[in-house]
């Protein structure tokens, strides 16, 4: 920190953030909890929230900067890339009817709930469009991290969760184009739509290379050195994710497709082994950044609406996810896990909030971002806790509901 109480030097900032993440994670593990809420809370405590001082004590220790944002963005990319390694695009396409059905349920129930609640609480149609998008989008990064922690990533319920997340991420690219170009007066709908179209072509090209070019990819990434191997994998992953983002497609979606392309190669297990440490480091920075954007005092003006939205949209995600699991032919327990797995909201809701904050108008430019930050904070923590304690929820239902018997999963994890 400077003598005038200014921001910390860059290297010290990184040291403080990583140390805080490490300590928060250790505390969470000590009490048998997910590390994600701990990372987010560390960001809240150390981030530039209001109040910044308590008497002579400076509360805002860390001011997020550009390079922290880049590291956090790499966390999203690495998490979605890792998720892509564990799926087959061919299998997803073979279940396209189930994906379409579950994704339609997800959109209709959650988007409609957000839009209806916003109108009911006096928001304009434009503001309601933002609120609906914020509550509709599940967090690919948070959910992926939770699936890895709980081991669900290799279970049947991961497929409908994954299919829904991919559908949401693809839809949000179009939705952001609509809001920025039509509603907010961007560069023009046609130009933006062409950019999104080019992005989808990139995804298609990556999928085709993964489908038809497995031998080529095996030769390209072959290396006796783990160092050079990691650099090639991370370089291709970040490069293509950046190209996708430039063309109007989520960097996370692009990274997922890159991971899916490399999944069938002979290098998949090695990729997973060498990328794990970098993935966890960057993911921790991402979750810290979510907390650092949260100003708890700013939530008072939307507290009532926030409380109602939290309850209603938690229920709608649980319902839509559970019904989506049924469309995949899963049993009741695994279908419930799909619903639980989709509750967390995160990065894309914050992207919509940032877009709303750049718009003119007191409510759109201030209340909608304040709602989004509070909503993401609570739902990110709640979503990870629900996944962590899914079995306890079912047991609680057995105690509270007469005649209820918690369904079992044959061979699954409790």
DSSP sequence for 222-237: --S-HHHHHHHHHHHH
Supply φ then ψ for residue 57, to 5 degrees. -90, 125
pLDDT digits (tens, 9 = 90+) for 179-198: 766 555 555 566 666 766 77
Instruction: Identify the top-confidence range among 45-59, 100-114, 133-147.
Output: 100-114
Q: Both tokens of residue 340?
A: 């639980």
**Over 60: is that where the pLDDT of 171 sits?**
yes
The two tokens of residue 285 are 């920075």
- Asked whether the predicted pLDDT for residue 276 surpasses 90, the reply is no
Distances (CA, A) of 388 to 33, 34, 238: 7, 7, 30
Q: Which domains does the chain have, with CATH numbers?
A: 66-394 (1.20.1530.20)
Segment 355-385, tens digit of pLDDT: 776 665 556 666 787 788 788 888 988 998 8
Q: Residue 240 pLDDT > 80, yes or no?
A: yes
Q: Quickly state the pLDDT bin for 135 (edges 50, 70, 90).
A: very high
Q: Got the DSSP string for 38-56? A: HHHHHHHHHSSPSP-EETT
pLDDT at 4 over 50: no
**Per-residue pLDDT at 414:** 37
Report the C-alpha gap between 312 and 113 in whole angstroms. Answer: 7
User: Is 60 exceeded by the pLDDT of residue 100?
Assistant: yes
The pLDDT confidence band at residue 141, using thresholds 50, 70 and 90, is confident
Q: What are phi and psi of 54, to 5 degrees?
A: -120, 95
Q: Is the pLDDT of residue 405 over 60?
A: no
What are the tens digits of pLDDT across the range 29-85? Answer: 887 777 877 888 888 788 766 555 555 555 556 665 666 678 878 888 888 788 788
3-state SS, one letter per residue, for 269-306: HHHHHHHHHHHHHHHHHHHHHHHHCCCHHHHHHHHHHH
Q: Is the pTM of this model over 0.85?
A: no
Q: Given this model, what pLDDT does residue 214 score?
A: 85
> For residue 212, what pLDDT band results from cuts at 50, 70 and 90?
confident
């Amino acid at each position: 920190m400077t003598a005038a109480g200014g921001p910390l030097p860059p290297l010290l900032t990184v040291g403080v953030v990583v140390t805080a993440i490490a300590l928060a994670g250790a505390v969470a593990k000590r009490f048998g909890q997910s590390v994600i809420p701990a990372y987010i809370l560390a960001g809240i405590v150390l981030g530039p929230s209001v109040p910044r001082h308590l008497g002579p004590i400076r509360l805002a220790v860390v001011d997020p900067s550009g390079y922290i944002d880049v590291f956090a963005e790499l966390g999203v990319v690495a998490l979605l890339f890792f998720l892509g390694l564990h799926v087959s695009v061919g299998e997803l396409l073979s279940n396209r009817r189930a994906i379409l059905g579950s994704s339609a349920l997800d959109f209709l129930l959650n988007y409609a709930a957000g839009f209806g609640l916003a109108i009911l609480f006096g928001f304009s149609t434009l503001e309601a469009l933002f609120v609906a998008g914020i509550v509709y989008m599940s967090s690919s990064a948070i959910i992926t991290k939770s699936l890895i922690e709980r081991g669900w990533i290799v279970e049947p319920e991961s497929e409908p969760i994954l299919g829904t997340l991919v559908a949401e991420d693809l839809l949000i690219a179009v939705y952001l184009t609509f809001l920025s170009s039509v509603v907010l007066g961007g560069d023009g709908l046609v130009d933006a739509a062409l950019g999104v179209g080019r992005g989808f072509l990139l995804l298609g090209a990556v999928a085709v290379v993964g489908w038809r070019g497995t031998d080529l990819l095996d030769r390209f990434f072959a290396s006796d050195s783990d160092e050079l191997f990691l650099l090639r994998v991370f370089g291709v992953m970040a490069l293509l994710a950046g190209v996708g983002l430039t063309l109007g497609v989520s960097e996370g979606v692009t990274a997922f497709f890159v991971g899916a392309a490399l999944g069938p190669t002979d290098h998949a297990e090695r990729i997973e082994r060498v990328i794990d440490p970098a993935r966890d480091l960057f993911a921790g920075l991402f979750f810290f950044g979510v907390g650092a954007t949260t100003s708890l005092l700013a939530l008072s003006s939307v507290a009532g609406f926030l409380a109602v939205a939290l309850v209603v949209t938690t229920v709608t995600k649980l319902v839509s996810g559970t019904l989506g699991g049924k469309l995949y032919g899963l049993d009741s327990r695994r279908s419930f896990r799909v619903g639980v797995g989709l509750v967390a909201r995160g990065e894309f809701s914050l992207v919509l909030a940032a877009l709303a904050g750049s718009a003119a108008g007191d409510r759109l430019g201030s209340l909608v971002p304040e709602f989004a930050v509070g909503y993401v904070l609570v739902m990110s923590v709640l979503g990870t806790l629900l996944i962590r304690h899914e079995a306890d929820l079912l047991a609680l239902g057995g105690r509270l509901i007469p005649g209820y018997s918690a369904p079992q999963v044959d061979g699954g994890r409790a």
